[in-house]
Amino acid sequence: MEIIRADFYATCFGVDRALKITNDALKSENELFCYGELIHNNDVMENLERKGLHIVNDLKDLKDSNLVIRSHGVGHSVYDYCMKNNIRIIDATCPKVRRIHGIVRQQCEAGYDIIIFGNKNHPEIEGIKGWCENSVYIYSDLNEYKTNHKHDEKKTCIVFQTTYHINKYNEIKEYFYSLNNNAIIVKDTVCRATELRQEAARKLAVVCDSVLVIGGKQSSNTKKLYEICKELCENTHWLENSDKIPYDLIKNSKKIGITAGASTPLEIVEEVIVNVRTK
């Protein structure tokens, strides 16, 4: 049996960085709070909670404490609130998300309205919105924009959620370039980490008899990897860790593919591989 890893898999740079910042802080602090789940992975979260990390969903529960900001980032008001309430911030906002905060802030100062393409319920979008002083509009795709947007005459800067689909981004960019409207600026803020993992999953699934997709059940990017692989390789399975390996279903496979979502640490992937090899 051959085990083949996807060319790109497991945690991205931003999630790795957030985990390192949090683990380092937990070495000197007995208790830390995190605004929402740090990453969508139960094993990792349970481990961090054992070390002293607590999840809060409402900042009003905090005072005189330490707060981790996760990689999705937050709006300006969270920093203001923490400053007023003596809450020390341990900032794990991904630099690629922070760049978007800087862009929208600067463009608002220059008099631009902001359009964000992405999922309006995602915390990253909430955070970006929180740095916009001028009008901000959020659309999931070009159709929604064309149907609803009535402010074409205004100076507008367009940004994208970091995990926005690259093909949709290209479609939107081409559309606005074709308008030849100098009042509209399109900024490429898409992070290629998700796209690279999805392309690698496609490449993997077509050459394997079975694929193991490793990642938390709440992780939307892991779900997407699972769907991609399942479409190309029927014997694809989604598991959270090595306790859930479907040995019976993969035992006759000559080539087993391995991929993992952007919130799955490498250690969990390696543990699965060792278990598959030694069983």
- Which distant-in-sequence residues (6+ apart) come within 8 Å of 145 by Cβ? 115, 117, 139, 172
User: Measured at CB, which residue is nearest to ligand SF4?
Assistant: 14
193 binds ligand SF4 (CB under 6 A): yes
Piece in contact with ligand SF4 (CB under 6 A), picked from 13-21, 144-152, 169-177, 249-257: 13-21
Piece in contact with ligand SF4 (CB under 6 A), picked from 10-18, 60-68, 109-117, 268-276: 10-18
Neighbouring C-beta atoms of residue 200, cutoff 10 Å? 19
- Angle between the 95-109 and 13-28 helix axes, to the nearest 10 degrees? 100
3-state SS assignment for residue 118: coil
From 1, 13, 85, 220, residue interacting with ligand SF4 (rule: CB under 6 A): 13
How many residues make contact with ligand SF4 (CB under 6 A)?
14
How far is CA 33 from each of CA 37, 62, 74, 89, 98, rounded to the nearest angstrom? 10, 8, 15, 10, 21
The verdict on whether 144 is a catalytic residue reads no
From 12, 67, 166, 260, residue interacting with ligand SF4 (rule: CB under 6 A): 12
Applying the rule CB under 6 A, the residues between 69 and 128 that interact with ligand SF4 are: 71, 94, 96-97
Q: Which two tokens stand for residue 68?
A: 């981790």
Helix or strand (DSSP H, E) at 250 = helix 247-250
Binding site for ligand SF4 (CB under 6 A): 12-15, 71, 94, 96-97, 162-163, 191, 193-194, 262
- Give the residue numbers marked as catalytic: 124
